[in-house]
Amino acid sequence: MEYLKTYVEGLDEKIKGGIPKKHVVLISGPTGSMKSTLSFYIAYRYLESKKRGNVIYVSLEQSRDSLLNQMKSLNMDIEKLPSNCEFNVFDWGLVRKMVKESGNYGDVDWVKAIETPIKEYARDKTVDILILDSLNALYAIADMVNPRNQLFFLFESMREVGATTFVISETSYNSMKFGSYDVEGFLADGIIHLSMERVGRTLGRYISIIKMRGVKHSTDYYPLLVDERGFRIVSH
């Protein structure tokens, strides 16, 4: 089995081998827990270290320019990646705005509309990492009549791309639910949970590998630090 590192200093040792490639992994946590940044970081560091590869980042809310400027401020400038690397950002926030202005917003099957260009792209090129940001934004625009069934086919569709997939899911503070419908965690191959806890006058960030099929791993929560060196955990 091939594995993908998280590149979070100290965490990969807690996942014996890493994230199995082609897994669909849920990155879950509350607002401000750096879910988007962590998923971008893993993909960026992968390309930087391999010096080749292909990433698709599907942003359903944040604009491409806003996302890339935010990541550039954290020393992740996609323009500085090696020439054999492709970091593609699909700006669905812009598409949503255009469709809304056209007056056809209610006629769109958004799940299919998002899946189709990804699959078409993957027919021509190998995709190493796929990121969907986020499920909550998808729920806000898609008609989820039968969530369990629709999410099953969405996750299977992402598996068909053949990439290691990170799906971002926003949850409430102090919640052990990993998705809005209680099925997301079951359908995913892995769950990386980011949490936040008040420590004095500050909010501390924590990370845990709740689930990773096919891998022996710790389920402890570790303090998560982010600085100019990137992500790292504190463990003893």
pLDDT for res 64: 95
Q: Is the pLDDT of residue 100 over 80?
A: no
Q: 3-233: CATH homologous superfamily? A: P-loop containing nucleotide triphosphate hydrolases (3.40.50.300)
pTM score, two decimals?
0.95
> Per residue in 7-27, pLDDT tens?
999 999 999 878 999 999 999
Which span out of 48-52, 59-63, 102-106 was modeled with the highest average pLDDT? 48-52
pLDDT for res 195: 96
Estimate to the nearest angstrom the gap between the alpha carbon of 120 and the chain centroid. 20
pLDDT for res 174: 84
Give, in order, the Cα–Cα distances in Å from 220 to each of 14, 22, 121, 171, 224.
9, 24, 38, 19, 12
> Per residue in 118-143, pLDDT tens?
999 999 999 999 999 999 999 998 88
Distance between CA atoms of residues 136 and 152, nearest Å: 16
> Per residue in 146-157, pLDDT tens?
999 999 999 999
Distance between CA atoms of residues 197 and 27, nearest Å: 18
